[in-house]
Amino acid sequence: MSETMTELSLTLSERHTADFEMIGNGGFAPLAGFQGSADWQRVCDEMRTAAGDYWPIPITLATDLECEVGDVVALSSDEGKPLGRIRVEEIFERDVREEAEKVYGTTDEEHPGVAAIYEEGSRCIAGPIEVDALPDHEEAFMRRYLTPAQTKEEFERRGWKRIVAFQTRNPIHRAHEYLTKAALETCDGLFIHPLIGKTKAGDIPADVRMRCYEVLMEKYYPQDRVMLGVKPAKMHYAGPREAVLHAIVRRNYGATHFIVGRDHAGAGDYYGTYDAQKIFDTIDIDELGIEPLMFEHTFWCNECEGLASNKTCPHDQEAHLFLSGTKVREMLGNGERPPHEFSRDEVADILIDAYKED
C-alpha cells in the first residue's frame, strides 16, 4: 500500500456513519460496501442491485474528497471514532434529481429525504468496506444492541420460528400496541425494533423513546414473547420504498414477518395512506424472504369500547378517537396528558417529563 493511500481519510456524516454501521453489522446484507453507478441506476429504476437482489434505496457515499480508483480511505464516524476503510473501486456522479424523483417520488426540497441527498451532492465514491469497529451509542441503546447474527441466535435460543418485527421511530401508543399484539397472536415472538439513527426535526429523541418501549414491555407484554432491539439506521422518509428496505433489514435480523401500517416511513403528504402496503403487490414475497403483515389505521371506538379498525368497526367516525402527532406534541408541551384511550399513562408520564426538560 502506497504512502498516499494510507494518508487518505474521511470523517463520515451522521447519515453516512449510520450506513457504514448497517453495512458493517450485516443489517444491509447483501451489501458489502457503498454502491457504485450500476447499482445506483438499477436501484433507482427497478429496486434491485446490479446483481439482481431486491434493494429499494441507493446506499451511496457522497463526498468531495480528492482520491483515485484504487485508493484506500480511512473512515471515521461523525464523532471521530476510527471505523475502518473503503477501497475505492469507482468515482461517479449521481443525478440527485433523478434519484429524488424515482426513489422519493418528488423533487421537492422540502421533503426531508430529498433535502438530505441534495445537500450531500452528486459526487460519490464506491467500493467495499473493511470494518474495525462500529460507531458508539448511548448506554441506553447499547443495552439493547444486537447484530443480526446475535438476534438470530437469540430467536433460536427462545425457540421462535415465526417472528414478527415492528418498525417505529416514535413512542408506541395504544393503536400500535393493539396491532403488535394482533400480529403476535399468529407468531411465536414480537421483535420491537425502533430506529435510533438520524431522524427529522420534531421527532421525539431516541433515548426518550427507549424508556417508553421499556415500560410498555415491562407492564403490557408477555416477557417470554417479546424482545426489544435497536436499529442504528437513518430515516430516509421514502414512504413505500423505505417500507421495503425496512422489511429487508428485518429479514436480515431474522424476522419472518413484518408489520406495515398506515403511512409507513412517510413525511407530510407526499404519499398516500396505504402506498407503503400497495408496493408489496409488485414484489415477489418469496424472493424477498419476509412476509408483510398489512394493518389498517387503528383507533379507539367509543361505541366498541375498545381499539378497532375500519375492518372490524361498523361505527361512524364521530365515535372514533384520533389524535394527530402534532396535536399530541402540543398537549405534551403544555404538560397535558393525552387521553388514556390514546396512550398508556406510563408512556405519557415519560413524554411529559421529557418535554419539561426541553
For cell 430516509, what's the residue? 236
Cα–Cα distances (Å) from 11 to 14, 80, 86, 98, 225, in that order, read 9, 7, 12, 27, 41
Distance CA 26, CA 17 (A): 14
As given in the structure block, the three cell numbers for residue 60 are 451511496
302 catalytic, yes or no?
A: no
Q: CB-hemisphere CA count at 13 Å for 125?
A: 24
170 catalytic, yes or no?
A: yes
Q: Are strands 298-301 and 9-11 parallel, antiparallel or unpaired?
A: unpaired
- For residue 323, which phi and psi values (nearest 5 degrees)? -120, 130
Gap between the terminal Cα atoms of the chain: 50
Q: Tell me 223's DSSP state.
A: G
Cα–Cα distances (Å) from 2 to 8, 70, 129, 310, in that order, read 11, 10, 18, 65
Among the options 85, 94, 144, 169, which is catalytic? 169
Q: Is the dihedral of CA 299, 301, 305, 311 positive or negative?
A: negative
Among the options 162, 170, 225, 329, which is catalytic? 170
Alpha helices in the chain (DSSP H): 3-7, 14-24, 37-46, 96-99, 112-120, 139-142, 148-158, 174-184, 206-220, 240-252, 275-278, 285-288, 325-333, 345-357
Distance CA 65, CA 67 (A): 6
Catalytically active residues, by annotation: 169-170
